[in-house]
């Protein structure tokens, strides 16, 4: 049986990440970056596409228990067998030069025989490397990639069936540590890492980082786990935050809605910035703001909806036919053609994020306002275009209401900035006029008076969960009847077993794709926020508590959820879902303010 998405836990070093299953198998790892080719791709295929399992010999099923060490990204997985019990501790320590995957096996009781099976497959499971022995290591080389494996102490290791196998016995208190290190094959082997010191230092560093968290309300452990996950999805050298650690995990089992999320989306920017600032992580928020400024620099007409980890712009979409997909959900895609779409909402996201950064007291950047002025000049001339919208539909451009509202947000934040800092240069009258015109048009063309709800796009009867953001964005006050009407309509038409779809896929051509998808986790958090803002605090808290219950056993959320089968769907773990959790917790139980 193929593992479920929620069967996985995340470890990482803030430059890449691995997914570890309940059975002790590392089934996904891209080296050296989040968006590099995977050397373990069993997640999207089978064992022959690469994995590394450590477990008691003869035990094929899941572990007895597992958990992160409190306030860390260090994972402990335990098995109890007739022979005794063992623990495997998995982590990726902060790297000096090269990425390391550390796995420490410890005997807890009795005397247990342990088996390690390592199948390295470079280039997303398509290349079997050449293996050799060197200086106490097993060395795998193919093209640009080289991986070194060693154990401390050395254990019996042999090659068989294009894999590297080890077998050894641990008694109570005994430890065997494995270190797998990647480096470019043309360079010498990097310095050795002390695996036991790496565990101690990682635990200490993570707990020190968590102590900076300002949130001290209900569900603190859950909020902290989400913050740790967001930190783990941050590409430390640049400050960019990837949407997820994976590609092509299906939004519908067996379906084709499988996308690569190992990039940085502008749509997440304001909510991500708010979560970091409000939780007390100003350094990380500033790094994200700085990444944003570098990524969007250039001609405003070329603004993209997403970028690579360092702001790369070319992310061509390709299918990998040799991978069967997660539980047979093909195709497997790398890259993302949505990068070429026009989404007017990202102009609003950028302006909103930079306004939040300014009002929160982040150190200003000398070119920031000049970039904002250029974005506004382009938007004033081009905002009337239809676009693909927030959800990257592939069914053609429309006048999406959320996109137009974000144009209003851009104008509103520009106007407010000039009103608060009149010494700045800008066309205040023009931006005020834009704000008024967009507001008037949205209320005329994007609102269905008969049903008392805003709609997905002009002239449509369809709805969109992104419209729940209207009061949060300040487009209308929470007590406006059009806001409360929209909330009720969305709950009624997009609600599914108490959770929310982002839009309807039943008989519509909006997204241009066959099949269906699950409920969208962050949209349900937005509903909780909207209920809270409109005074329905009890309902908001009840929904939040249900959403927290969707987390897997180690506190992780994917992009979507199927409430009928009780399964997580989509890429994992999903930054947008965890950002939603943090912001809703702060709104319900914290001071809810950034800065």
What is the Cα gyration radius of the chain? Answer: 25
- H or E element at residue 538: helix 537-548
CB 105 within 8 A of CB 170: yes
Regarding beta strands 234-235 and 65-68, do their DSSP bridges make them parallel or antiparallel, or are they unpaired? unpaired
- H or E element at residue 19: strand 17-21
Interatomic CA distance for residues 183 and 583, integer angstroms: 38
As given in the structure block, the two tokens for residue 514 are 């066959």
DSSP-derived secondary structure letter, 387: B
Angle between helices 368-382 and 401-420 in degrees, nearest 10: 140
pLDDT digits 0-9 by tens, 249-277: 999 999 899 999 999 999 888 899 999 99
| pLDDT less than 50: residues of the chain | 594-595
DSSP 291-357: HHHHHH-S-GGG--SEE-TTS------EE-TT---BTTB---EES-GGGG---THHHHHHHHHHHHH
Phi, psi of 286 (to 5 degrees): -65, -40
Interatomic CA distance for residues 140 and 129, integer angstroms: 6
Cα–Cα nearest to 435, from 414, 461, 458: 414
Looking from the CA of 402 toward its CB, the CA atoms found within 13 Å total 23
Give the Å distances, CA to CA, from 190 to 91, 99, 172, 293.
Answer: 18, 10, 33, 34
Q: Which residue is listed with tokens 């990482």? A: 12
| Helix, strand and coil in the chain, % to nearest 5 | 35, 25, 40
pLDDT digits 0-9 by tens, 119-151: 999 999 999 999 999 888 899 999 999 999 999
Which residues of 511-594 form beta strands (DSSP E)? 519-520, 560-562, 567-569
Q: Which residue is listed with tokens 């890492």? A: 193
Cα–Cα nearest to 50, from 150, 117, 147: 117
DSSP 202-220: HHHHHHHHHTT----STTH
Which residues are CB-contacts of 55 (< 8 A; sequence separation ≥ 6)?
23, 24, 25, 63, 79, 88, 114, 115
Interatomic CA distance for residues 89 and 42, integer angstroms: 21
DSSP-derived secondary structure letter, 580: H
The pTM of this model reads 0.96
Q: For Cα atoms 287, 290, 293, give the angle at the middle one, nearest 5 degrees.
A: 155
CB 37 within 8 A of CB 45: no
Q: Which residue is listed with tokens 């506004």? A: 376
Q: Residue 136's pLDDT is what?
A: 82
Interatomic CA distance for residues 390 and 270, integer angstroms: 14
């Amino acid at each position: 049986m193929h593992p479920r998405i929620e069967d996985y836990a995340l470890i990482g070093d803030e430059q890449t990440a691995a997914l570890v299953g309940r059975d002790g198998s590392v089934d996904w790892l891209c080296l050296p970056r989040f968006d590099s080719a995977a050397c373990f791709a069993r997640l999207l295929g089978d064992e022959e596409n690469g994995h590394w399992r450590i477990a008691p010999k003869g035990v094929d099923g899941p572990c007895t228990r597992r958990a992160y060490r409190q306030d860390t990204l260090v994972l402990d997985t335990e098995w109890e067998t007739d022979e005794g019990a063992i623990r495997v501790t998995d982590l990726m320590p902060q790297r000096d030069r090269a990425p390391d995957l550390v796995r420490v096996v410890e005997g807890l009781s009795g005397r247990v025989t342990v088996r390690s099976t390592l199948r390295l497959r470079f280039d997303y499971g398509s290349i079997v490397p050449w293996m050799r022995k060197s200086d106490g290591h097993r060395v795998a080389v193919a093209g640009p990639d080289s991986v070194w494996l060693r154990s401390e102490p050395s254990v019996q290791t042999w090659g068989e069936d294009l894999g590297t196998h080890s077998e050894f016995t641990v008694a109570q208190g005994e430890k065997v540590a494995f270190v797998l290190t990647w480096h470019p094959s043309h360079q010498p082997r990097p310095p050795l890492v002390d695996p036991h010191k790496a565990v101690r230092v990682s635990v200490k560093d993570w707990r020190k980082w968590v102590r900076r968290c300002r949130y001290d309300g209900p569900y603190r452990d859950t909020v902290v786990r989400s913050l740790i996950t967001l930190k783990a999805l941050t590409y430390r050298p640049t400050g960019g935050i990837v949407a997820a650690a994976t590609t092509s995990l299906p939004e519908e089992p067996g379906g084709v809605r499988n996308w690569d999320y190992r990039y940085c989306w502008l749509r997440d920017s304001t909510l991500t910035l708010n979560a970091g600032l409000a939780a007390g992580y100003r350094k990380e928020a500033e790094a994200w703001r700085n990444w944003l400024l570098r990524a969007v620099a250039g001609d405003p007409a070329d603004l993209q909806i997403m970028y690579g980890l360092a702001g790369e712009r070319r992310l061509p979409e390709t299918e990998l036919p040799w991978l069967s997909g997660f539980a047979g959900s093909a195709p497997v895609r790398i890259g993302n053609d949505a990068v070429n779409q026009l989404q007017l909402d990202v102009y609003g996201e950028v302006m909103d994020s930079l306004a939040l950064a300014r009002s929160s007291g982040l150190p200003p950047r000398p070119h920031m306002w000049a970039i904002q002025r250029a974005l506004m000049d382009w938007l004033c001339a081009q905002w009337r275009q239809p676009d693909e919208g927030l959800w990257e539909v592939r069914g053609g451009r429309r006048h999406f209401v959320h996109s137009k509202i974000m144009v209003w947000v851009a104008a509103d934040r520009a106007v407010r900035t000039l009103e608060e800092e009149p010494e700045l240069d800008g066309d205040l009258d023009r931006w005020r006029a834009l704000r008024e015109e967009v507001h008037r048009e949205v209320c005329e063309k994007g609102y269905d008076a008969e049903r008392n709800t805003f709609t997905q796009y002009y002239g449509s009867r369809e709805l969109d969960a992104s419209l729940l953001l209207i009061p949060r964005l300040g487009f209308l006050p929470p007590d406006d009847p059009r806001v409360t009407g929209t909330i009720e309509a969305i709950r009624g038409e997009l609600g599914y077993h108490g959770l929310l779809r982002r839009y309807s896929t039943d008989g519509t051509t909006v997204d241009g794709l066959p099949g269906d998808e699950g409920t969208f986790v962050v949209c349900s958090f937005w509903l909780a926020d909207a209920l809270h803002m409109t005074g329905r605090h009890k309902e908001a808290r009840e929904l939040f508590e249900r959403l927290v219950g969707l987390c897997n056993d180690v506190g992780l959320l994917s992009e979507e959820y199927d409430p009928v089968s009780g399964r997580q769907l989509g890429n994992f773990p999903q930054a947008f879902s965890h950002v939603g959790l943090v912001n809703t917790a702060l709104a319900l139980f914290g001071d809810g303010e950034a800065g």
